[in-house]
DNA sequence: ATAAGTCTGGAAAACGATTTCTCTGAGAGT
DNA sequence: ACTCTCAGAGAAATCGTTTTCCAGACTTAT
C-alpha cells in the first residue's frame, strides 16, 4: 500500500536521494560502485519512480492527450492505434477523450488537458470555430496537432487527407463508368472535410462537362441515420440519380440500408461510392467501392508531428497532407461494366 | 506560458494560498467576503488548479486506466464509450492503453498505471495467467476491475456476459431451425470467453440429444484471418456442417468472407450465427444473426463497479454478469424456414 | 609539499497544491 | 473589565522527484 519512494531506495543503498535520482537519470557523475549498489536496491525493492512527482517537478509530462469527435465511428479506431503505437514506442501514454461532437464537452476536455499538463494534444475538432480555445491552449504552451478536420491557413500543425482530390477521384471514376446523374451526400459545410469533399465532387463534374445540379446535393451530418434519410430523399425524386457519392463511412452505411430496404440493387440500379474504408467494407451487402484514407498513418503522422514539436518548439507550423486511395469493389459497378 | 498558480491567485486576492485552497475545496471555514474576493480572483486570472500537484499531494488521482486487448476490434468501441461516459459524469479522465493481446505490452502498461498512480484500473486481460500482476496491483492499492474475460473464482471485481447461456441460445436456435450438423469456431481455451462459449455450444447440443463431434470444433484466435481459415477447413471436410456458430465478431467476418469466396449461399447452403453484434451486422453480405452483448452497459457497469470500490474499498468483491440477447436476422435461415 | 583543479555525493530548494498547526482577534460569559 | 472560547486566516510541513549549489576528497602540476 505505501508504495516505495526514492527515499526508501536511498536508505536501502545507504546513499542520498540525490544519488538515486542521478542513477535513475543516467547522470554520468556517479561512481560505478555506487551506481551498482543503487541499482541493486532498485531491483530489490521493485522501485518505480512516481510519475506524478516527476511531472510536477519537470513541469512536463509524458502524456499525450487525444480528443476524438466520435468514438463510435470505426474510422477513428486505426487512428487511435496509430497514435498509440507511436506514443508507446516513445514511452508516452495516452489520455483519450471523446467530445461526441459536442462543443461544450470538447471545451471541458480542453480544460482538463490544460490542468492535466499534458505534453501535447492531438485533436479532431468538433467544430471549426474553436480558434479561441486553441489559441488559449497555445498560449499556455501546449502544442496542439489538428487531425482530419483542418483549415489550411490556421497556424497550427495539422494532419489531413487530400479530401478534394479523393472525392474528385471517386466521382471521376463514376463518370468514367458512364454514370451521368451523380448525386452526393456530403457533410456539414462548417467542417473542412464536408466542404472539401463537396468541392471535389463539384470540380470533377465540371471538369468532365457534366452539369452541376443543386437538387442532387444533400447535406448530412456524417451519421448513419442522416445517410439513410437523405438517400430516401434522393430515391423519392421524380428523376432519381443513377449513382451516389457519399462522403463518409457512416452515411454510406445508411445509404446502403435505405437502398436495400427499397430493394434497389446495387450497383445495377444505383451505384454507390463511399468515403473511408473499413475492414469489413468488402463484406457488406454490396461490397463497397470507397475512397480509403490511410487512417493508421494519420494517427502516426499526427503523433510524429507532435513529438517533433515537443523536441523543437521553434519549428514552423506544418500541415501534412496524405493521399487517399480509391478501392474499387462492386458497389460502383466497375465489374459489371468492364 | 508560465501558467497561473494558486500563488498568483492568493497575491491577486491579497490572501494566503491556504485560503485560496480552502475556497477551492469548499471548506466552510472561510468568510463570505473573502470567499467572494478569491472567487473573483480565480475568474479574473482564469485559474485552474494543477492536477499534477493535487495528485501528488492527495496521493490519488481522478484518472481511470483502461487497458483493452485489441483496439482494432469494434467490440470495444461501445465499451470504451460506456466507460468514458460514466467517467465523464464523475469528472474522471481516462488513460487508454492497448495491450494488443501482447502480455509484455500489457505488463508494461500495468507498470505505467502503477507509476501513474491512477485511481483505478479497468482491464480486458490478454491472458488468464496474469494473476500475479493483478495481485501486485492490488497490493499497491489500485482497484482493478476485470472486463469480458473473467474467471469467476478470482477475487476481484469483474463484469462479464453470460457466455455459456449466450452460446447455448444461439445453438439451440439453430437446432430449432432444423440444423443437425452444427460446427463451431471458438476462441482460445485459456480465455474464459473461448471456453465458456464452447461449453455453451456443447451443452446445447447434448441437451437436445445431438451427438458431439470433435471434428466440428475449430479453435481460433478471435481474429478475422483465423475465422476465414477455419471456415475453409470446415468446408473442405468430406461431410461439411450445415451450420456454424462462430464465437466472436471478427471470426464471423472471416467466416462470411470464406463462404462468399466459395460462393456458398448463406443461409441456404450454410447457416451462420455469430457472437457480438456490430452496428453494421445487418448490412453485411448476409445480415448476421448474432448473440448480442450489451457492450455499452458492460463499460458502464465496470466503471460503476470501480467507482463503488473507490468510494468504499472494504466492500466484498462482486462479479456482475449481464445477459446477452439473440438478434435474429437472415444468416441463420429463420426467415426461410418459418 | 602545496596550491589548484576535478570528482562525488550530500543538503536543500524547488514544483503547486493541501492540511495541520498556530496565532490573532472578536465575541461571549462572569 | 477580564478571561475564555472559537472562528478565521496565515505559516509551514508535506507529497516524491529533480537539480542546483557546495563541501569534502582525491588527483595533478609546479
**Chain segment A302-330, per-residue pLDDT in tens:** 999 999 998 888 889 999 999 999 999 99
Is residue B14 over pLDDT 60?
yes
Residues A188 and A150 in one domain: no
Position B1 in a domain? no
Provide the 3-class DSSP secondary structure of residue B313.
Answer: coil
Q: How many CB atoms lie within 10 A of CB B30?
A: 18
DSSP category for residue B284: B
Is residue B194 over pLDDT 90?
yes
Position B193 in a domain? yes
CB of residue A7 closer than 7 A to nucleic acid strand D? yes
Residues A333 and A191 in one domain: yes
Return the higher-pLDDT residue of B109 and B268: B268
Beta-sheet strand order (sheet of A289-292): A217-219, A182-186, A243-246, A271-275, A289-292, A325-327
pLDDT at A139: 67
Provide the 3-class DSSP secondary structure of residue B330.
Answer: coil
DSSP category for residue A287: P
CB of residue A53 closer than 7 A to nucleic acid strand D? yes
Peptide bond into A118 cis (omega under 30): no
Residues A79 and A27 in one domain: no
Q: How far apart are CA B148 and CA A50, in angstroms?
A: 30
**Helices and strands in chain B: count of H runs, count of E runs:** 13, 12
Residues B180 and B256 in one domain: yes
Tens digit of each residue's pLDDT (9 = 90 or more) over B295-321: 999 999 999 999 999 888 888 999 999
Residues A252 and A173 in one domain: yes
Residue B58: closest C-alpha in chain A: A52
**For all residues of chain A together, what is the average pLDDT?**
91
Cβ contacts of residue A206 below 8 Å, gap of 6+?
A212
Q: Find out whether A286 and A272 touch, Cβ atoms under 8 Å.
A: yes
Please give the radius of gyration of chain B, using alpha carbons only, rounded to the nearest integer. Answer: 26
Task: Give the position of cell 452483448.
Answer: B293
What value does the mean pLDDT take over residues B324-336? 91
Element of type H or E holding B97: strand B93-98
Is residue A187 over pLDDT 80?
yes
Interface with A, mutate which of B5, B45, B52, B77 (most A CBs under 10 A): B52
**Cα atoms in the 13 Å half-sphere on the side-chain side of B251:** 28
Q: Would you call A51 an interface residue with chain B, using a CB distance cutoff of 8 Å? A: yes
Window B11-30, strand D contacts by Cβ < 7 Å: 14-19, 28-30
Position A1 in a domain? no
Provide the 3-class DSSP secondary structure of residue B260.
Answer: helix
Write the CATH number for A90: 3.40.50.2300
Contact B140 A51 (CB under 8 A): no
Cβ contacts of residue A165 below 8 Å, gap of 6+?
A200, A323, A324
Contact B93 A74 (CB under 8 A): no
Contact B84 A74 (CB under 8 A): no
pLDDT at A180: 95
Measured CA angle at A56 (ends A51, A58), to 5 deg: 90
Is residue B133 over pLDDT 90?
no
Peptide bond into A268 cis (omega under 30): no
Q: Find out whether A255 and A281 touch, Cβ atoms under 8 Å.
A: no
Return the higher-pLDDT residue of A61 and B213: B213
Q: Would you call A69 an interface residue with chain B, using a CB distance cutoff of 8 Å? A: no
What value does the mean pLDDT take over residues A163-175? 97
Residues A174 and A283 in one domain: yes
Q: Nearest-CA neighbor of A159 among A172, A168, A170, A150?
A: A150
Is residue B334 over pLDDT 90?
no
All cell numbers assigned to B139: 497490493
Residues A207 and A304 in one domain: no
Q: Find out whether A158 and A319 touch, Cβ atoms under 8 Å.
A: yes
Task: Give the position of cell 491567485.
Answer: B9
Q: How far apart are CA A109 and CA A125, in angstroms?
A: 12
Q: How far apart are CA A29 and CA A270, in angstroms?
A: 73
Going through chain A in order, the beta strands assigned E by DSSP cover 63-68, 93-98, 120-123, 144-147, 157-161, 182-186, 217-219, 243-246, 271-275, 289-292, 319-322, 325-327
Q: Find out whether A302 and A84 touch, Cβ atoms under 8 Å.
A: no
CB of residue B56 closer than 7 A to nucleic acid strand D? yes
What value does the mean pLDDT take over residues B215-243? 97
Cβ contacts of residue A310 below 8 Å, gap of 6+?
A119, A120, A143
Q: How confident is the model at residue B29 (pLDDT cuts 50, 70, 90)?
A: confident
Torsion of CA B303, B308, B313, B319, to 10 degrees: -70
Protein residue closest via CA to C1' of C14: A57
Q: How far apart are CA B329 and CA B242, in angstroms?
A: 17
Nearest nucleotide (C1') to alpha carbon of B22: C18
What value does the mean pLDDT take over residues B182-210? 95
Protein residue closest via CA to C1' of D20: A18
Residues B110 and B39 in one domain: no
Which residues 202-261 in chain A show a CB within 8 A of chain B?
224, 253, 256-257, 260
Position B286 in a domain? yes
pLDDT at B290: 98
Q: How confident is the model at residue A165 (pLDDT cuts 50, 70, 90)?
A: very high
Contact B84 A78 (CB under 8 A): no
What value does the mean pLDDT take over residues A232-261? 97
CB-CB neighbors (< 8 A) of B72 in chain A: 77-78, 81, 279
Is residue A77 over pLDDT 60?
yes
Tens digit of each residue's pLDDT (9 = 90 or more) over B251-301: 999 999 999 999 999 999 999 999 999 999 999 999 999 999 999 999 999
Q: Find out whether B265 and B333 touch, Cβ atoms under 8 Å.
A: no
Measured CA angle at A17 (ends A11, A21), to 5 deg: 125
pLDDT at A197: 97
Backbone angles phi, psi at B129, to 5 degrees: -90, 35
Q: How far apart are CA B25 and CA B23, in angstroms?
A: 5
Cβ contacts of residue A109 below 8 Å, gap of 6+?
A65, A67, A97, A99
What value does the mean pLDDT take over residues A173-180? 96
Is residue A34 over pLDDT 80?
yes
As for how many domains chain B has, the answer is 3
Residues A260 and A144 in one domain: no
Residues B168 and B225 in one domain: yes
Query: Burial of B272 by CB count in 10 Å (0-12 exposed, 13-18 middle, 19+ buried)?
Result: buried
Return the higher-pLDDT residue of B170 and A337: B170
Residues A40 and A78 in one domain: no
Q: Find out whether B255 and B261 touch, Cβ atoms under 8 Å.
A: no
Say which of A74, A94, A115 has its CB closest to residue B48.
A115
Element of type H or E holding A230: helix A224-235
In chain A, how long is the greatest CA-to-CA distance? 88
Q: Find out whether A266 and A283 touch, Cβ atoms under 8 Å.
A: no
Write the CATH number for A42: 1.10.260.40
pLDDT at B65: 93
What value does the mean pLDDT take over residues A277-294? 96
**For all residues of chain B together, what is the average pLDDT?**
91
Position A25 in a domain? yes
Q: How confident is the model at residue B137 (pLDDT cuts 50, 70, 90)?
A: low
Residues A246 and A262 in one domain: yes
Q: How confident is the model at residue B135 (pLDDT cuts 50, 70, 90)?
A: low
Protein residue ranges contacting nucleic strand C, Cβ under 7 Å = A 14-19, 28-31, 33-34, 53, 56-57, 59; B 2-3, 5-7, 17-18, 20-22, 24-25, 47-50, 53-54, 56-58
B91: left (phi over 0), alpha (psi -120 to 50) or beta: left
- B203: distance to nearest CA of chain A, Å? 31
Q: Would you call B320 an interface residue with chain A, using a CB distance cutoff of 8 Å? A: no
pLDDT at B128: 54
Q: How confident is the model at residue A136 (pLDDT cuts 50, 70, 90)?
A: low
Which residues 126-155 in chain A show a CB within 8 A of chain B?
139-141
Q: Find out whether B220 and B227 touch, Cβ atoms under 8 Å.
A: yes
Position B289 in a domain? yes
Return the higher-pLDDT residue of A107 and A222: A222
Position A54 in a domain? no
pLDDT at A135: 65
Q: How confident is the model at residue B140 (pLDDT cuts 50, 70, 90)?
A: low
pLDDT at B273: 98
Q: Which domain holds residue A86?
A: 60-161+295-323
Is residue B123 over pLDDT 80?
yes
pLDDT at B228: 98
Position B55 in a domain? no
Q: How many CB atoms lie within 10 A of CB B140?
A: 14
Q: Find out whether B124 and B147 touch, Cβ atoms under 8 Å.
A: yes
CB-CB neighbors (< 8 A) of B56 in chain A: 50, 52-53, 56
Amino acid at each position: 500500500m505505501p508504495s516505495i519512494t526514492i527515499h526508501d531506495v536511498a536508505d536501502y543503498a545507504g546513499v542520498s536521494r540525490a544519488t538515486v535520482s542521478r542513477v535513475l537519470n543516467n547522470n554520468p557523475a556517479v561512481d560505478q560502485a555506487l551506481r551498482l549498489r543503487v541499482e541493486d536496491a532498485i531491483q530489490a525493492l521493485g522501485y518505480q519512480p512516481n510519475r506524478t512527482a516527476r511531472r510536477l517537478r519537470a513541469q512536463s509530462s509524458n502524456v499525450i492527450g487525444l480528443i476524438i469527435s466520435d468514438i463510435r465511428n470505426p474510422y477513428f479506431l486505426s487512428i487511435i492505434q496509430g497514435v498509440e503505437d507511436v506514443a508507446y514506442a516513445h514511452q508516452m501514454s495516452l489520455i483519450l477523450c471523446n467530445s461526441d461532437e459536442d462543443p461544450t464537452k470538447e471545451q471541458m476536455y480542453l480544460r482538463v488537458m490544460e490542468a492535466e499538463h499534458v505534453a501535447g494534444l492531438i485533436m479532431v475538432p468538433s467544430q471549426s470555430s474553436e480558434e479561441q480555445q486553441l489559441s488559449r491552449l497555445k498560449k499556455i504552451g501546449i502544442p496542439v496537432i489538428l487531425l482530419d478536420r483542418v483549415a489550411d491557413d490556421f497556424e497550427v500543425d495539422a494532419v489531413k487527407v487530400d479530401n478534394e482530390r479523393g472525392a474528385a477521384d471517386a466521382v471521376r471514376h463514376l463518370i468514367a463508368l458512364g454514370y451521368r446523374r451523380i448525386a452526393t451526400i456530403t457533410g456539414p459545410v462548417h467542417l473542412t472535410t464536408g466542404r472539401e469533399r463537396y468541392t471535389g465532387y463539384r470540380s470533377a463534374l465540371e471538369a468532365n462537362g457534366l452539369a452541376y445540379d443543386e437538387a442532387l446535393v444533400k447535406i448530412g451530418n456524417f451519421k448513419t441515420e442522416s445517410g439513410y434519410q437523405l438517400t430516401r430523399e434522393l430515391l423519392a425524386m421524380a428523376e432519381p440519380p443513377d449513382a451516389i457519392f457519399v462522403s463518409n463511412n457512416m452515411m454510406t452505411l445508411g445509404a446502403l440500408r435505405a437502398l436495400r430496404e427499397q430493394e434497389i440493387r446495387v450497383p445495377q440500379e444505383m451505384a454507390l461510392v463511399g468515403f473511408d474504408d473499413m475492414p469489413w467494407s468488402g463484406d457488406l451487402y454490396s461490397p463497397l467501392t470507397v475512397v480509403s484514407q490511410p487512417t493508421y498513418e494519420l494517427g502516426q503522422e499526427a503523433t510524429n508531428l507532435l513529438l517533433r514539436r515537443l523536441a523543437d518548439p521553434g519549428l514552423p507550423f506544418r500541415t501534412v497532407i496524405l493521399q487517399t486511395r480509391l478501392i474499387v469493389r462492386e458497389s460502383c459497378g466497375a465489374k459489371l461494366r468492364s
